[in-house]
Amino acid sequence: MRERRRAAEKSLAGSLLLAHPALSDPNFRRTVILMTEDSGEGSMGVVLNRPLGKNLGSLGGEFALGSLAGVPAFRGGPVHPEQLILAAWTVQAHGFNLHFGIEPDKADQFLSVEGTHIRAFFGYSGWSAGQLKNELKHQTWVVTAPPEDLFSQPSDAKLWGTVLGREGDQWRLLAGEPEEPGAN
């Protein structure tokens, strides 16, 4: 019994949350969220498929002429959208290492590391204690491991359908539905 309880309480950190196709909340509709923290105190992640269409350099300030000027910026979620979070992923043979919430000088060091992707997120997605567990019970999210080619996929609206479609035939059909079925 104790083993079963531990398995059920496994952390989601490092997993992807894929919005259920029926989720209509505009903050999370058709999103792919990389979970960065999950504990009894709450959960946190960033949306991977909401690019702002800008790089850090175009936002001005300290990044305008610096080495991080070309780093793409994303809307990480509705919590503290004014907060800038830098993250780097170092791709390895079977997965990746995530460096989350790093300082600009550390991000600058990662620019020269082969197989590393750096992104800037404005805001994050957050859940209070028990909130995400409740949403999972109501099947608001599909939980999956990040595919090995996650960072070679375009990080736009198509990412959701690509990743969800790999979860099986039922999900592939739902992922292929038009965003507005009534306008079809």
Domain ranges of the chain: 2-57+74-85+124-183
What phi and psi values does residue 29 have, to the nearest 5 degrees? -55, 125
- Which range (6-15, 24-33, 42-51, 131-140) has the least confidence? 6-15
pLDDT in tens, 141-166: 999 999 888 888 889 999 999 999 99
**Do residues 31 and 47 touch, judged by C-beta distance below 8 A?**
yes
pLDDT band at 9; cut points 50, 70, 90: low
2-57+74-85+124-183 — its CATH code?
A: 3.40.1740.10
Q: What integer is the mean pLDDT of 36-61?
A: 94
> Which 3 state secondary structure label does DSSP give 11?
coil
> Amino acid identity of 172?
R
